[in-house]
């Protein structure tokens, strides 16, 4: 069908608006990357914009040698990998029975979980419960309270409901039980939504900051998000790092930019592997029809 002038105007405005929004995300990222890779004199003179000037990796060298960036990175990986595995298991095992019509009371269970999206116990009662179970200063305090995200569960549940009932009936005729049906039929057909929700959980766990500060007492257990925040806010710490790497020429601004890049790169690298599932997973999991 031929596009009308109104359609072309609409699409043109959409592309322009989305392009401007994309630039507001891309340009700061390019600037930070340029600061982390530019020569000290270029940074001090304010000539660094969107491209590195005087290629220099001293900031990364000083950061890896003078900070706990590698242990913190390891902690972030542990928190993210274990958290994603636990959350995906819990989300799938919650969404699957709630998507089956034969499950008694599934609507009431669903409404009860939706209720938690609008009303929570609050920070202090949650902390007291976590402390009561002896989870303070343990990564379990990060995993268990946020094990299932209700929105993610509803997306997976709706996706499962969109899978044709004929497949379930055929599986039952072949003697397929619920567990086998879930593992061999439902999950292989749900790769788009599973990849999408995996990305949501991965970003959430990787960026954990407040809960780490609230529940983790030992600095050796801090993740990358907390360490980067401390590096950015603590000028004394930055100066100590600069003095540690006295044999190289580096400034605090470059160290801040390098720490932010180390924080962002893993998720940027992960996204392209899941991007092809992203739109399909969200759309099919969010719309019942």
The residue extents of the domains of the chain are: 1-56, 57-286
Alpha carbon of residue 217 to chain centroid = 23
Residue 289: per-residue pLDDT: 43
Residue 205: per-residue pLDDT: 95
169 CB-side CA count, 13 A = 3
End-to-end Cα, the chain, rounded Å? 25
- Token match 């005729």: residue? 173
Q: Is the pLDDT of residue 87 over 70?
A: yes
Please tell me the pTM assigned to this model: 0.84
pLDDT, tens digit, for every residue of 25-65?
889 889 998 988 888 888 888 888 888 888 888 888 878 87
Tokens linked to 269: 């690298």
How many residues are listed for the chain in this entry?
289
The residues, any chain, with a CB within 8 Å of residue 66's CB and separated by 6 or more, are 240, 241, 244, 245
Which helix (H) or strand (E) is 226 found in, with range? helix 224-233
Q: Is the pLDDT of residue 88 over 60?
A: yes
Please say whether the structural domain 57-286 has been given the CATH code 1.10.3720.10.
yes
Higher pLDDT, 4 or 114: 114
Q: Are the CB atoms for 139 and 221 separated by under 8 Å?
A: yes
Q: Are the CB atoms for 61 and 259 separated by under 8 Å?
A: no
Give the span between the Cα atoms of 1 and 189, in whole angstroms: 33
Residue 80: per-residue pLDDT: 95
- Token match 């609050």: residue? 122
Report the mean per-residue pLDDT for the chain.
84
Percent of the chain with pLDDT over 90: 32
Q: Are the CB atoms for 54 and 38 separated by under 8 Å?
A: yes
Residue 150: per-residue pLDDT: 92
Q: Are the CB atoms for 146 and 116 separated by under 8 Å?
A: no
Tokens linked to 57: 């990796």
Q: What is the mean pLDDT of residues 200-209?
A: 93
Q: Which residue, among 148, 143, 154, has the nearest Cα to 88 in the 3D structure?
A: 148
- Token match 């982390």: residue? 36
Higher pLDDT, 10 or 286: 10
Tokens linked to 126: 């949650």
């Amino acid at each position: 069908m031929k596009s009308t002038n109104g359609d072309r105007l609409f699409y043109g405005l959409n592309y322009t608006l989305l392009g401007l929004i994309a630039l507001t995300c891309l340009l700061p990222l390019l600037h930070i990357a340029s600061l982390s890779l530019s020569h000290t004199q270029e940074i001090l003179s304010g000539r660094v914009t969107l491209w590195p000037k005087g290629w220099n990796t001293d900031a990364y060298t000083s950061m890896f040698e003078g900070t706990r960036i590698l242990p913190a990175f390891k902690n972030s990986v542990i928190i993210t990998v274990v958290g994603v595995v636990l959350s995906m298991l819990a989300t799938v095992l919650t969404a699957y029975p709630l998507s089956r019509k034969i499950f008694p009371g599934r609507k009431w269970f669903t409404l009860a979980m939706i209720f938690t999206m609008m009303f929570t116990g609050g920070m202090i009662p949650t902390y007291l419960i976590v402390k009561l179970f002896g989870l303070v200063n343990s990564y379990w305090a990060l995993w268990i309270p946020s094990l299932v995200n209700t929105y993610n569960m509803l997306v997976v549940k709706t996706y499962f409901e969109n899978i044709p009932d004929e497949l379930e009936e055929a599986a039952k005729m072949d003697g397929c039980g619920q567990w086998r049906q879930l593992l061999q039929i439902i999950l292989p057909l749900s790769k788009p939504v599973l990849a999408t929700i995996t990305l949501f959980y991965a970003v959430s766990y990787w960026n954990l900051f407040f809960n780490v500060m609230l529940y983790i007492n030992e600095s050796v257990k801090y993740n990358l998000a907390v360490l980067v925040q401390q590096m950015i806010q603590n000028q004394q710490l930055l100066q100590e790092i600069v003095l540690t790497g006295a044999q190289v020429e580096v400034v605090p601004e470059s160290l801040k930019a390098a720490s932010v890049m180390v924080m962002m790169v893993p998720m940027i690298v992960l996204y392209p592997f899941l991007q092809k599932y992203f739109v399909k997973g969200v759309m099919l999991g969010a719309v019942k029809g």
